[in-house]
Amino acid sequence: MKFQNFKGGVHPSQEKNTMECATVKMSIPGKVVIPMLQHIGAPCQVAVKKGDTVKVGQVLGKSDAYVSVPVHSSVSGTVTAITERTISGSKPVVCVEIKPDGLQEISEDVNAPVVDSKESFLKAVRDSGLTGLGGAGFPAHVKLNPPKDAKIDTLIINGAECEPYITSDYRECMENTENIIEGINHVLKWTGIQKALIGIEDNKPEAIKKLKNAVNKTDSISVYSLKSRYPQGAEKMLIKSLTGREVPPGKLPSAVGCLVMNVASVAFVAEYMKTGVPLIKKRVTVDGSSVKTPMNLEVLIGTPIADVFEFSGGFTTEPAKFIMGGPMMGVSLYSDEIPVMKYTNALLALNEKDGRIPDEYACIRCGRCVKVCPMNLLPFDIDRLVKANLYDDLDKYNVTDCIECGSCSYTCPSKRMLTQSIRLGKDVLRRKAKK
């Protein structure tokens, strides 16, 4: 197979400190805080009330909206509060707070699903609460049901994990290989897709070897080693690398016959089909220059990140910044009381040196941001327009095509906050479109 190279990209320091850290199961926290919105789409309506006793896997929130999935309890215990909290970004979200009883009793509603058709498979995936576990949080049942006129011939499994620090997907490949393959087979069977391509960066040779051995006698699944280059794991870049196809601006992977899922997502599909236990836990990489003991943890969803860091040994220095996700595309957090959510794949605590925001200087028109942009954009021009509040001109620069990978900001010698400007510009255009 001849690989295609996507344009641009950068080579940040990998910092994969936890690659050989086998996943440790974290203890039950003193409380869980479970948001009713942990995915792209409509929020769930609370299905319990304060004082209720709940069990593991019980539905806490649900919605009739198509682009939405139910939210389940990760513990057994008592609902102590239902309040609005600002989780990340600026939007308040209704959250259910539960005090665990330590028993972890499974709800009577938890049963392995009966699947005998594509429709029942999609229903099972929705009922499981599965959203994209790679960080995007897109409801899986929607992704698995592309438009009828889309001719999907390739399932792409994302194991690239190109972000610095994060190794949770690597550990998924090493520790949960059989479920990855089993989950892929479920998706192929019920969607009718003929083949699957697993893409992993070449800095993870052991994972590549293990998955290749697992699919040795399977004609429909292939494993490929990809060049380590950020943002190799972005959907459009991964599709380009593995198939040579280019997703048109404003289109989804289905437009070029592809469907992309994360390795952890397909592994969860296999586990859910066997047990019926919904999405209530997450493998999370805990790292950063302030963390005493970097590790990979299996964490119950809703666990406050303060508890996660404490379980990891606490801090060697006072953290200057918390990040959910990686340093390139992750979200900076204002508090360590924010809970672990379905899409949390890493928690970083950075010291003053690593967490400091550098001073901006004037653009020197070097063009480095243009050279590294994988989407062929002009970041310095977009930044100029946003700074001047000339939002009406942004459409001419295809700002909505930006995948917010941060390559432009990373490479800028003047330390311009290019990605932040682009995000602001996209947000303004979205608000104008709604009006």
The structure's pTM equals 0.94
Amino acid letter, residue 391: Y
Determine the Cα–Cα distance for residues 279 and 334; give it in Å rounded to an integer: 26
- Which domains are delineated in the chain? 118-275 (3.40.50.11540), 368-434 (no CATH)
Tokens of 152: 């999907």
Tokens of 169: 């997907």
Cβ neighbourhood burial of 99 (10 Å; 0-12, 13-18, 19+): middle
**β-strands 195-201, 154-158 pairing:** parallel
Determine the Cα–Cα distance for residues 181 and 171; give it in Å rounded to an integer: 15
Q: For the chain, what is the radius of gyration of the CA atoms?
A: 21
Tokens of 403: 């995948």
Residues ≥6 apart with Cβ < 8 Å to 273: 112, 113, 115, 124, 186
* pLDDT value, residue 2: 53
Determine the Cα–Cα distance for residues 235 and 157; give it in Å rounded to an integer: 10
CB 8 within 8 A of CB 26: no
Task: Say how many C-beta atoms besides its own lie within 10 A of residue 105's C-beta.
Answer: 15
Q: Any idea what the Cα angle at residue 418 is, between residues 417 and 421, rounded to 5°?
A: 90
* pLDDT value, residue 1: 54
* pLDDT value, residue 241: 94
* pLDDT value, residue 142: 94
* pLDDT value, residue 432: 84
* pLDDT value, residue 89: 63
One digit per residue, the tens of pLDDT, for the chain of length 435 reads: 556 678 899 999 999 999 999 999 999 999 999 999 998 889 999 999 999 999 999 999 999 999 999 999 999 999 999 999 988 766 789 999 999 999 999 999 999 999 999 999 999 999 999 998 876 788 999 999 998 888 999 999 999 999 999 999 999 999 999 999 999 999 999 999 999 999 999 999 999 999 999 998 889 999 999 999 999 999 999 999 999 999 998 889 999 999 999 999 999 999 999 999 999 999 999 999 999 999 999 999 999 999 999 999 999 999 999 999 999 999 999 889 999 999 999 999 999 999 999 999 999 999 999 999 999 999 999 999 999 999 888 888 999 999 999 999 999 999 999 999 999 999 998 888 887
